[in-house]
Each structure stands twice: as C-alpha cells, then as structure tokens.
Amino acid sequence: MADITNAEAIAFCDQKLRVCADAMLTAYRTAEALTDYWHANSISALIDNDAEDDVKDGANPVSGTADGRQPLTGADVHNLVTRAGELSSADLTLTAEPLWGAFALNTILQVAVNGNARF
C-alpha cells in the first residue's frame, strides 16, 4: 500500500481525528477520576439520590443571584456519576465485548496526542 499523502486526508487526521481521540481520552480519564473520588471519599453519603433535594451551589444558591447554570438535584448527581462509571474503565478495558469492544482504550491511546489528559 502507498503512504497517505492527500492533503485533505492529512488535514482530517491532524485537525479532526486526533482532536476527537484527545476528547475521548479526556472524557474517559475525567470519568475515571470522578468515580474514583466519589468512592474514595464516600460522597454518596453526602448527597441523597433524591430528585427533590437541590444542590445549593452557584446555580441555585441559598441566597444571592444564580450564575445561570442548570440547577442540580441529588438525583442528577447520582445519575451523572453512574454515567461516568459506565464510561470509565468498565467500558474501555474489559476483554469481553462491552460497549466499545475489547481494545477500545488502546485504540484511543494510539491516536491521542495528549495521552495523560485528566481533570
């Protein structure tokens, strides 16, 4: 096979594909860090999984003006932590056939420019 030298193909790889791989890896590592912190610090004991309990942060302050973000409930927090857990190691590193397949993380790492991206 011949090397790929087409300018449009090269631009796609440099400007789209590698950027996507970095975003995917960042999402994976951020989800992994979030769930690790959640479990290590027993945050679930601090936030009830209840759609009626509001998180009183800057989006929904006890007093003052809200900052414009969507307010959160305890259920919102638990739901997102669940989604983060699904995105983290269970889906990318199992050898069975999970959501993305057996070697998904290695596939992303092979293309990503910023392999250590993490929040």
pLDDT in tens, 20-32: 999 988 888 888 8
What the block records as the tokens of 59 is 């989006």
How confident is the model at residue 119, as a pLDDT? 43
Which one-letter amino acid corresponds to residue 50?
D
Please indicate, yes or no, whether the overall pTM of this predicted structure exceeds 0.85.
Answer: no
**For residues 31 and 8, what is the distance between their CA atoms, to the nearest angstrom?**
33
The alpha carbon dihedral of 41, 45, 50, 54 has a sign of negative
pLDDT in tens, 52-68: 999 999 999 999 999 99
Q: Distance from CA of residue 74 to its chain's centroid? A: 19
DSSP string, 8-68: HHHHHIIIIIHHHHHHHHHHHHHHHHHHHHHHHTTGGGTS---TT-B--STTS-SSS---S
In eight-state DSSP terms, residue 4 is: -
**For residues 13 and 9, what is the distance between their CA atoms, to the nearest angstrom?**
6
HSE value, Cβ hemisphere, 13 Å, CA-based, for 99: 11
How confident is the model at residue 112, as a pLDDT? 85
